[in-house]
Amino acid sequence: MTDWEPKIVSFLCNWCSYGAADLAGVSRMQYPANIRVVRIPCTGRMSPKFALAALREGADAVWVSG
């Protein structure tokens, strides 16, 4: 398990963090490849169900960002 890498399910708001992620991408910034992005139309779309579903399906962590 030494080469284990966590999977972090990230719920990013289309207008905020998703934009930031996009900008980070076009700016060629380096960041860990552990995040799996789910784009949501707004952080208001977030529901506790999503977080639980992610954890249940084996995500190592959940990150919600607006």
Partner 1 sequence: MKNLLELMGVEPDRIHFSWISSAESTKFVQVVNEIAEKVKALGPNRHFVKQEAKVA
Partner 2 sequence: MITYSNKIKEIAKRLLKECRAEMVIGFRKGSIPMMNEPCFVRTDEQADDLVWDSHCGINLANYLTSRDEKIAIVAKGCDSRNIVNHIVENKINREQLYIIGVPCQGMVDKRKILAQTEGEVLQITETENGQITVKSANGEKTFSKSDVIQQNCSVCIQPNPVLYDEMVADPVQGQTDIDQFADVRALEAMSTEEKRAYFDELLAPCIRCYACRNACPLCYCPTCFVDESKPQWLGKSQDIMDIKTFHFLRAYHCAGRCTDCGACERACPVGINMRILTKKLNKDCLDLYDWQAGMSIDKRPALDVYQTNDPEKFIK
Enumerate binding residues for partner 2 (CB under 8 A). Answer: 48-49, 52-53, 56
Regarding 40 and contact with partner 1 (CB under 8 A), the answer is no
Report in angstroms how near the CB of residue 3 gets to partner 2 at its nearest. Answer: 26
18 C-beta neighbours (distance < 10 Å), count: 19
Nearer to partner 2, 23 or 53 (CB): 53
CB 57 within 8 Å of CB 51: no
| Chain length of the chain | 66
Report in angstroms how near the CB of residue 39 gets to partner 1 at its nearest. Answer: 13
